[in-house]
Every structure is written in C-alpha cells, then in structure tokens.
Amino acid sequence: MKEISLNLLDIAQNSVSAGATLIELTVRESQAEDIVLMSVADNGKGMSPEFLARVTDPFTTTRTTRPVGMGLPLLKMEAEMTGGGLEIKSELGRGTTVTATFRRSHIDTPPLGDLKGTVVTLVQGSPDIDFVYRRETDLGQFVLSTREMREQLGGVPLDEPEVLAWIGEYIEENEQSLQGE
C-alpha cells in the first residue's frame, strides 16, 4: 500500500465484513514521540483465539474467491519494517482492535495519504454504521462522529453525495488546523 490511509481503509473493511455497528478509526502522529499510529476498533463478531493466532498469515482469509488474504500481513510487514509493529486484540462476540505503529522518521514509513478519502469511502459504503474518526497530532485533535451527523441530518442518508462532500471538506479543514496551516 502506498499510503497508511489505504491500509486504514482495508483494515476497516474487515470490520464492516465482521458485522460491526460501531467502528472507531484513530490516526495519531507525533513528531515528539516519533510515531505514526493507526488503529481500527470495532464491535463486530470478533475472532476465536485459533483464528487470531494465524490471522497475519497470508494464507488465512475470509474471502471466498481465493485462499489468500494480504491485508493484515502487508500492514504487519510495513509497520515492522519501520521499527514499529502490529497488535491485534480480539474476542468472539465482542469485537476486534487492530493497531499498527510506524516510526515516523523512518524512511520506509509511508505517507498518511488521503485520510478524508478513506473516511468518505467507508461512510459511502456503510452509511448505517457509526464511524468515529479521531485524528491527533502534537498540535491537537479532532473527532468526527457519524452518529452526531445523523442526528443533524434527520432522515437524510449519510451517503448522499452532498453529505459525503461535506464530510470531506470538514475533515480537510480540521486537518489543516492540525498541521498548523
């Protein structure tokens, strides 16, 4: 993956497939701590200890089209290459949390990329899921909650193009303030 935001999209799609109704996305970047962290926490169906033990093996997958699943193994490799790592916590019936850390100053740490594109894609694909997107830098943080948005929108679905465009603009504007622009 060329961007961490693409890993974020890929891993969050697993949460969608796991039947989650709440998916929390966190992207934290700190120059002071020399870290880039992305995590996806869901309340989906979770994994058994046996499945969890082999989930970063590329020949473990839930897809039915072919017996290869590259999402988590790729992320693990990418994170470890930079001196970071991948942590997965999961419990059957409770949910799963995937956290990847990268060393920010490492040359192999990919750029964060188009984070708003990832959030908009997820909301477009699953407008009924509650997404919480939390973005933190050394300058501060902001949170977007689609549940709060839904309250404002009444019956208008979140996947209306105009609403999706608003989400993109909202994230972009807040992102700029976190970069000190």
Q: Which residues bind another protein (CB under 8 A)?
A: 1, 6, 9-10, 13, 17, 63, 65-66, 69-71, 74, 114, 117-118, 120-121, 124-125, 148-149, 152-156, 159-166, 169-170, 173-174
Q: Residue 3 carries which side chain, given as an amino acid letter?
A: E
Residue 6 CB, shortest distance to another protein, in Å, is 5
Q: Which is nearer to another protein, 35 or 132 (CB)?
A: 132
Nearest one of 31, 22, 32, 27 to 7, comparing CA atoms: 27
Q: Which is nearer to another protein, 91 or 130 (CB)?
A: 130
Residue 40 CB, shortest distance to another protein, in Å, is 14
Residue 33 CB, shortest distance to another protein, in Å, is 27
Q: Which is nearer to another protein, 92 or 143 (CB)?
A: 143
